[in-house]
Amino acid sequence: MSSKDQIIQAIQKVKSDNKTLPEIPEFRVPEDLLATFILSIEGNKGQVISKEDFQSWMEEKGYSKILSNSERLEVSSSQILPSDPHELAELELAILDGQWAAAENGAIWLDDTQLKLRAIPFITEHLVITVPESNILGNMHQAYEKIGAQHSGFGVFIAGPSKTADIEQSLVIGAHGAKSLTVVII
């Protein structure tokens, strides 16, 4: 008997009465979605700026190795999209478009369409994600309602920069992935 059959049979032997699958009701969401979203991102140690401020932010930072997949911001990439992500090991800034965001926790959804190469938001030293204000939802239930039917091979909720508190619970930003997250509201 295969391992699969063994496991399935062991489960079937002890099957009890059928339970019903709980439904998930609609919950109340914060009234000011943008303000809540900004607070959430800041709590996650990211920052939020407006589209108007983006240009001066770029000038101030002066990054030179840039890869942008954004269709919402006009930035010229200094790096072409490689087929091998290892070529992005020195990438300083990646700019990506977010699809949907949840105000309650700052989570922003992106999938293969926006990422193009899955390693980008993780391997880059700094990350910018654009979010249209109208795409900010209340909570995760609403977010899954929006993305529920999508069939992307990979999708991710990103809510802040890479962080850790594994040394004496002291928060340190920039563990392995992006050392900063800047969200640009469109």
Partner 1 sequence: MSHPSKAAEFLKDQAKSHWHDETLWFVRDKRDKISKSIPEWENLRTIASGLKDYVLNNLDTLLLDFEANAKKNGIHVHWAVNAEEHNQIVHSILEKHDCKAIVKSKSILTEECHLNPYLEKRGVEVVDTDLGERIVQFLQQPPSHIVLPAIHLKKGDISEIFHEKLKTEKGNEDPTYLTHAARLHLREKFLKAKVAITGVNFGVAETGEFVVCTNEGNADMGVHLADVHIACMGIEKIIPRRKDLGVFLRLLARSATGQPITNYNSHFRSPEPGKEIHIVLLDNGRTRQLAREKFKNSLKCIRCGACMNTCPIYRRSGGYSYGSTVPGPIGSILSPGIDVKKYSTLPFASTLCGSCSDVCPVKINIHEQLYEWRQEITKANPDMAKGMSMKMASGIFTSPLAYKISGSLMRKSLKALPKSIIYNPLNVWGKERDLPNPPKESFKEWYKKNRP
Residues 127-146 that bind partner 1 (CB under 8 A): 139-141, 143-145
We find the least distance from the C-beta atom of residue 158 to partner 1, in angstroms, to be 6
Question: Is residue 77 within 8 Å of 117, Cβ to Cβ?
Answer: no
Which residue has tokens 């700052």? 106
Nearest to 108 by CA among 165, 53, 54, 186: 186
* Angle formed at CA 118 by CA 117 and CA 123, multiple of 5 degrees: 95
Indicate whether 148 belongs to the interface with partner 1 (CB under 8 A).
Answer: yes
Nearest to 123 by CA among 91, 75, 79, 163: 91
- Judged by beta carbon, residue 51 or residue 85, the one nearer partner 1 is 85
The phi, psi pair for 11, rounded to 5°, reads -70, -45
- Judged by beta carbon, residue 80 or residue 149, the one nearer partner 1 is 149
Indicate whether 151 belongs to the interface with partner 1 (CB under 8 A).
Answer: yes
Nearest to 66 by CA among 99, 97, 90: 90
Selected range binding partner 1 among 5-13, 51-59, 63-71, 93-101, rule: CB under 8 A: 5-13
We find the least distance from the C-beta atom of residue 74 to partner 1, in angstroms, to be 27
Binding mask 82-101 for partner 1 (x = CB under 8 A): ---xx--x------------
Indicate whether 154 belongs to the interface with partner 1 (CB under 8 A).
Answer: yes
For partner 1, the binding residue among 34, 58, 81, 156 (CB under 8 A) is 156
Question: Is residue 48 within 8 Å of 42, Cβ to Cβ?
Answer: yes
Residues 43-72 that bind partner 1 (CB under 8 A): 43-44
Burial of 10 (0-12, 13-18, 19+ CB in 10 A): exposed
Selected range binding partner 1 among 1-9, 64-72, 74-82, 128-136, rule: CB under 8 A: 1-9
